[in-house]
Amino acid sequence: MKRIGVLTSGGDAPGMNAAIRAVVRACIYNNVEVYGIERGYQGLIENKIMRMGSHSVSNIIQRGGTILKTARSKDFMKAEGRKMAFENLMRHEIEGIVAIGGNGTYTGAKIFFEEHGFPIIGVPGTIDNDLYGTDYTIGFDTAINTALEAIDRIRDTADSHDRMFFVEVMGREAGFIAADVGISGGAEVILIPETKMNIAEVAEIIKNGWGRKKSSQLIVVAEGDEIGGVFTVVEKLKEVIPTLEYRVTVLGHIQRGGSPTARDRVLASRLGEAAVTALIEGKNNAAVGLVHDAVTFVSFEDAIHHKKPLNQDLIHLANVLSV
């Protein structure tokens, strides 16, 4: 393999730049030309492909976001768009791609491989940590630390005013962020998609806290919890506890930004280099991951269709620590 392309797709995540840097420098180390593709799969269709060198990734390992930009491409969902992307890759004589992103990125890569047989290795880049085949995804550690810093500050004002705060964190399909942030932030209640907790149970925990003279309480809600988002939760709680006084904070996209932690930089560097090595060795149609601190690979099929379980011990721990 003489030419490899690299792209970032879907939602951005802190550490993507570190992964791009690792891909570029691993290619150079192995005497392989490397090309950056701007705006993900859309950039493939629009031929936004540029040669990269070592200087292209200087001083980016500490930066959040992605220097290659990212997008969700509707055109790539169509066979005509994927055909244009393939033709552009052939025009540049690119022989393999490292695709950094989440489930949508993997799905596009799988279909592209099935239609055109083009070698692609996926790198898990998403703050949600919900991809099967890896213990951690790039951006997760930074996201939970960003959210935790915000929650620690909220705790200060909640304690000062004897108030109850409801904090919504990201996680439409999975509660990994909410679980880690809730436990480390000392939340009384953590609402996540993986568990079924009704409003009456939440209300009982809150009342028990008041009975133990708790002056302030913190409720962490994953945006995808089955009850609904944080505003739905508080509306339903007001029906059960009419006297409830509270404040709501939605952390939103603040969790995606910022300089990546050391853990995310190392993870991104390991997986980016491993992806390049895999392509050179002939692997394709698979995603790289880290399981028990060892680099592993899983097929796109499994990564897409297997649901990554949340450790049930964390759920039990959250219940124990909330008393």
Judge residue 281's burial from the number of C-beta atoms within 10 Å of its C-beta, 0-12 exposed, 13-18 middle, 19 or more buried: exposed
**Cα–Cα nearest to 67, from 58, 80, 79, 76:** 58
**Cα–Cα nearest to 133, from 296, 301, 309:** 296
| pLDDT per residue as tens digits for the range 226-276 | 888 899 999 999 888 888 888 889 998 999 999 999 999 999 999 999 999
Domain membership of residue 238 as a residue range: 140-256
* Together in a domain, 69 and 80: yes
The pLDDT, as a whole number, for residue 260 is: 97
The model's pTM: 0.93
* Together in a domain, 266 and 292: yes
* Together in a domain, 247 and 275: no
* Together in a domain, 206 and 75: no
128 as an active site residue: the answer is yes
Say which residues have a Cβ less than 8 Å from residue 239's Cβ, sequence separation at least 6. Answer: 199
* Together in a domain, 235 and 274: no
Catalytic residue among 12, 128, 141, 225: 128
* Together in a domain, 126 and 215: no
Residue 121 tokens read as: 């290795």
d(CA 37, CA 45): 10
Domain count, the chain: 2
What's the CATH number where 145 sits? 3.40.50.460
If you count them, how many residues does the chain have? Answer: 323
What's the CATH number where 70 sits? 3.40.50.450
* Together in a domain, 58 and 159: no
163 pLDDT more than 80: no
d(CA 68, CA 66): 5
71 pLDDT more than 90: no
